[in-house]
Amino acid sequence: MTVIRTAAVAGQFYPARAGELRTTVEVMLDAAPAAQGPPPKALIVPHAGYIFSGPVAAAAYACLRPYRDRYRRVILLGPGHRVAIRGLALSSADVFRTPLGDVPLDKLALAGLDVGGVDVVDMTHQFEHCIEVHLPFLQFILGQFSLVPIVVGDATDELVASVLDRLWGGPETLIVISSDLSHYLSYDKACTRDATTCAAIEHFDRRRIDHDAACGATPIRGLLKSAKRKRMHITTLDLRNSGDTSGDKDSVVGYGSWVLSERDADTRHGGR
């Protein structure tokens, strides 16, 4: 019997009807700047409702288009919003379902994460949006792929980095870190705060990123720790907030997207 993690925020964060969802994703991707540079190894992408952060997320996912055939697995980490946990939470589901279909979990990889502080906590995944909102983008671009979804709770940067190192894989594996930036500041204050966070990310300065700067500070810091050790290259793709995307500038949420690439990456389209 297949265990299905059903969509929790379809119709809220993104359209619930498959046709409308596919069109929405396609329009945002087509509006994003054309992809340039080597194939992405990791992305940092926001996770709000598509009306707010969708265009910023699309700037990151558009980078995958020239290389869509190389990716077979996605490691997706984001912060828990619903259920507080210690460590990292895995899912026992067989598939994550969205209106665009089912995404199978990489059960072998999940079984291999026998690490202290990493446990199966289905309750954390049940209503969590930080993983789910990325799946339609990935389904639209990549088609078939397997997923390793991880919700990050009260954990150290070192734990996140060690799990990422275990799952790093080769060119077939893409890492996605899900995070928004500052929350509910005035427009001008948000711009200043988010610019500081952006500079810290660009310089792999993880110690300057706290949970006031980014709700996904811990997974971001874990990625930066691992990526700095691997001497990766990072590029900022977009930096805006909900005042830019929705028009209400009284109390905004910040969004940014970044792409990280390995310096010796194979740049052939579809290289495996």
Reported as a single tens digit per residue, the pLDDT across 223-262 is: 999 999 999 999 999 999 999 998 889 899 999 999 999 9
Query: What pLDDT digit, counting tens, does each position of 13-26 carry?
Result: 999 999 999 999 99
Query: What pLDDT digit, counting tens, does each position of 153-212 carry?
Result: 999 999 999 999 999 999 999 999 999 999 999 999 999 999 999 999 999 999 999 999
CATH class of the domain at 13-169+191-261? alpha beta
Mean of all residue pLDDT scores within the chain:
95
Query: What pLDDT digit, counting tens, does each position of 86-141 carry?
Result: 999 999 999 999 999 999 999 999 999 989 999 999 999 999 999 999 999 999 99
Domain locations along the chain: 13-169+191-261
Interatomic CA distance for residues 4 and 53, integer angstroms: 27
Return the structure tokens found at 93: 């589901």
Sign of CA dihedral 188, 207, 59, 242: negative
For 170, residues 6+ apart whose C-beta sits below 8 A from its C-beta are: none
Residue 269 — pLDDT band, cuts 50, 70, 90? very low
Closest CA to 131 of 256, 261, 7: 7
- Sequence letter at residue 198: C
Q: Are 59 and 129 in contact (CB under 8 A)?
A: no
Task: Assign residue 4 a region (left: φ > 0; alpha: ψ between -120 and 50; beta: otherwise).
Answer: beta
**pTM (2 decimals)?**
0.96
